[in-house]
Structure 1
Amino acid sequence: MAATTGDPGLSKLQFAPFSSALDVGFWHELTQKKLNEYRLDEAPKDIKGYYYNGDSAGLPARLTLEFSAFDMSAPTPARCCPAIGTLYNTNTLESFKTADKKLLLEQAANEIWESIKSGAALENPVLLNKFLLLTFADLKKYHFYYWFCYPALCLPESLPLIQGPVGLDQRFSLKQIQALECAYDNLCQTEGVTALPYFLIKYDENTVLVSLLKCYSDFFQGQRTKITIGVYDPCNLAQYPGWPLRNFLVLAAHRWSSSFQSVEVLCFRDRTMQGARDVVHSIIFEVKLPEMAFSPDCPKAVGWEKNQKGGMGPRMVNLSECMDPKRLAESSVDLNLKLMCWRLVPTLDLDKVVSVKCLLLGAGTLGCSVARTLMNAMGFNMSIPMPGHPVNFSSVTLEQARKDVEQLEQLIENHDVIFLLMDTRESRWLPAVIAASKRKLVINAALGFDTFVVMRHGLKKPKQQGAGDLCPNHPMASADLLGSSLFANIPGYKLGCYFCNDVVAPGDSTRDRTLDQQCTVSRPGLAMIAGALAVELMVSVLQHPEGGYAIASSSDDRMNEPPTSLGLVPHQIRGFLSRFDNVLPVSLAFDKCTACSSKVLDHYEREGFNFLAKVFNSSHSFLEDLTGLTLLHQETQAAEIWDMSDDETF
């Protein structure tokens, strides 16, 4: 409850705040507006809600928003009062968190105050019922963050209760109650509405009259002691009025306190019980109006809604279960595999294909395309810690990160081939390191808008072999690699990984990005093409006698005899859909790679999670310092400065 303070001799009036009630249809409509209309537009938008005063006892006073909230011309539901609002939909969670809530509240309060001073609120009382809605829609996860505000102006002094509150049946006779119902209904019918938020009341023992606020002068002509006002009250508590009364009392104090010392308030509550109309649970009370006149400045305002825990903070609703499409079920490919061996590829080693255990990391469009091609699948829901995404050193968060790493290590240990199919660069770092340490074959696929890369990571030599040894039965064991062409006859253990071509360490690539910047949209066939090629590359590698140590095929080998019954075994496949072309480049492992270099693997194998925690919680410079990239950058910069100095001497 929000209480006033003041004269200790009288009890003080308290108000029951609104509770936000946002229908699922509202979030569906906001999703469509964001995608098709708002996009990156953060300008405030007009919306509307409504509240009802016929709830059963025990229910909170609710301000409801549904799918029609964005249509300002949509009719208000029967027996409900409208409330006008402003939507502030932010593009990022960071913008949502840092929005100036105080300023937003002050702006709304000023609008209400101006409507009171100008008299506009008398002409249109709905102007007193403003609300604000601050939102961020995470359409990747269908998580919606929101914070409601119901601006209420504060009186310059307290509102002491003179009488009440009491039930209406303790002050009105049955005849008066019936007269009130009839008068209210007739006024609503005359105005063409199903409910009026505020109204004026005049009564005696036999009659009850009601009127609009703008008719104040004529309606109360001749009255000198007090006036009676009515409010359509969404609260059903016996001792407290609802939130809409607050701004109405400010209006009354500002415009009528010079004429009257007190005001009688009737909180009109209208519900149907067992088919019969019931308004006797309405309450009536009298309050003393402030004696001090208002200054021209807008009064202080309150109104931000508390969260579910009772603190000042936003709320979040997760609608992923009712908004995400369902995954297709698995199906078998055993029959097709066997039919292939009958005539097309009789030398195909089916056992290697059927028995291989694949771990797919990433279950988006690309991951689902790979899973659909492989056709056997079991799901794990887990979070992969990443460089640039700090792990907080609280017992719960740190322990959860440790469990996630242990689970990932165990999954990689239990599988033969690891597919990296995630959206971000940094999310591929940890599985790339673990897989390199465990000597697992890694197939990596990444998409652009109309380009893709599919590659196998270089497979490190078994740990028991010498530092300069090749796989014992590898055909290059006695060859001089340096005497050959730079990108010809490169064995699998010298091939680079996904990070070998980078000279910067992975970091947080999604921080404070707008929805379109997070977007991983590609041409519609790209994910299926890349996903299928990733699976085919794996199968080709498995069919080669040397497996992951196989010499990389390049574009120059396309006219040569293929090394396997299924064709070439490339290191990379880079596709350009705009010109419907693929190339097969080959790249060497980089001794300063932030993922597969010996320095990174040695630290990981010695220190385990402690080393990983340093990477997660440090800036990208930690990996760059460790691998020597920082020194390389400095030497490169020094060389550029030297060259520039030489040029300046001419």
Structure 2
Amino acid sequence: MQYTPFISDIELPFYSSLASLKVDHDKLDDSARKVLGLYEIKPSDRPEESCRMQILGNALLKDDVPAGYYRAEGMIKNVNTIEEYRNADKPAILQLAGKTVVLSFADLKKYKFSYWFAFPAIHSSPPWAPTASPINKDETDSTGQKKPASHASQQLTEPETVNLVEAVQTWRYGVDARQHGFFLAKKVWAAADQKPLKGPYEWQISPLSGYEEGFFDNSKEGDRYVCFADPSNYDDAPSWVLRNLLVLVQKRWKLNKVQIMRYRDLHSRRDQGRTLIMTLETDNSQTSTTTEGGDAQPALPKITGWERNPAGKLAGRTVDLKEYMDPQRLADQSVDLNLKLMKWRISPNLNLEDIKKTKCLLLGAGTLGSYVARNLLGWGVNKVTFVDNGSVSFSNPVRQPLFNFKDCLGGGAKKALRAAEALKEIYPGVDSTGHVLSVPMAGHPVVDEDKAKADFELLKKLVEEHDAIFLLMDTRESRWLPTLLGKANGKIVLNAALGFDTFVVMRHGSLTTAGSKDGLGCYFCNDVVAPGNLRINAKASLIKSTKAQTLDQQCTVTRPGIAAIASALLVELFVSIVQHPQGADAPATTAPDEDNIESPHPLGIVPHQIRGYLSRFNNVIVTGKDYSCCSACSGRIIDLYLQDGWDFVKRAMNEKSYIEEVSGLKEFSVELETSPDTLILLGLFASSSYTDEVSFFGFLGIFISKSWELEKY
């Protein structure tokens, strides 16, 4: 007898669910996982398209069966490599399985899924064969005409079918859905003195367990039926599930002849009468084998069931989902994939969601801003906002990777706006915006108060809306107000500054630890003068910050690779802060050279600042305390800002010495000028090779700390 095998039919959402479970939960574990298959009786399908085993999008997660469907529980083994998939012992897998099997490999980078379904079927030995049924040979239909019959199956009359469907439907309401696919049925004839309501007999239904509970007792052999829901639309080839049912009949119930009911009717079409009855027989005279010792024991049954591909060959299938998936969704999943792979072996405790939801404000969209933004994308940060008032010049694209030649034309695109657009072109899923504004700077007098105040209010609003502030501007004084705003609002503030072959990468101390033993300094805690329209050159003379300078002083003259190095370290420092249990309050590591430092989070230490010297290819980790007279983060400055707001900022811009007076720096400067050690300091500095701004202030801070024994660096 021929049987109709199942055809696998997988919904596209199932692949996404499988990929998600592999990346987020299973990882390297390739243990078999439960999967729920569903099949249904569908008269409208062509015979060759019937018997579909449907794998819905929730087949790995849900156990519910929709109305009208029959369940087929199975398992899926999703291996880690394509070689494991190809070399898997298919016969052994089939022998071990008693349910639907899916062997699969998901190439999550290319979105190709290789899979091979198996619908295990146990062969009866000896096999069953159809025989003519003597019971139904004289049956007639509702018109009194004799029904056509083949040697293999007979069809019920329309009244019989209607009554049967009603009985089955009523029975199903009272039993577990897992029993719906297989059941027993018998005819119960009315007594001679009773007037039948729906014919000479009625149908009674029972689960398969009823066979051993006496369901068929006192009923004639010809009135007994072993039934299964048959999705096959072939009249002469029942579906694959009958194979396993016949093994139960033969091995457990010890029957060699049985009437099988292929139940193929729907309640909505119960008048069509598609259910078929077939009588099967087998020779049970020899059902065991004998071992060498003479003991009789059951032979190991033959099991088949691997699905053939569309070409009719015993081989698996491969589906490429790239063409079916939305490109943006594909990008989202691909970006997350590389990050989630870190959790498989290297860093299972990494909290990627915390990084993703951290909103980042980048003040400066030039060289540092471009590299920082790209690295933030790599970590999956979803919100990046740029602030800059400059335009793209022809010298920018080679050093600033968010811009190209076209951005330089027509006077140059605004950096903040173009950087936000470029970031979306790289990854459409990022939420990126740009704002063109000039950051109010201490010591730079207000020219247009309305515009300056509007810029201040916008900057203040942006700082309040974001979680992490990156200071990536060209001048020191432009970093003063963002440092103050970040500290006052309790934000994570990170800073990077470049020299020709040196750099400093640092995090600012938090508001909650200010003044304590764990309080960390900011970018200005080294200064002995307030930021303004002045800078100290190599000979320790004061000159204008951006004016009256030669071209090499006005431009960012650095080794080209140093910006990428500093930006990468800054972003990694940011991620380490976010992953630390204390966040911005994380204490700085004080012993960076020890190899066995125990870290409270998976990414290692969280330093205060990293000073790099490319000429020696050397990085130094430095920790410095906050300074009570700092012009940007001291308590006096924070309190005045919170009290006066814009009026305080305006005075800082218009009055050159205002910040020094209120912070206490002026008093300290007077003491510094009267010390003879000052001349020694300036002489040493002028003769040194460290002529960049970063090195000078670091050197100056160390000198002050040793000479005056102040708590600063």
Which structure would you say has the larger RCO, counting Cα contacts within 8 Å and 6 or more residues apart?
Answer: 1
Shorter-chain TM-score range:
0.3 to 0.5
Q: Pick the structure with greater CA Rg.
A: 2
The TM-score with structure 1 as length reference comes to 0.47
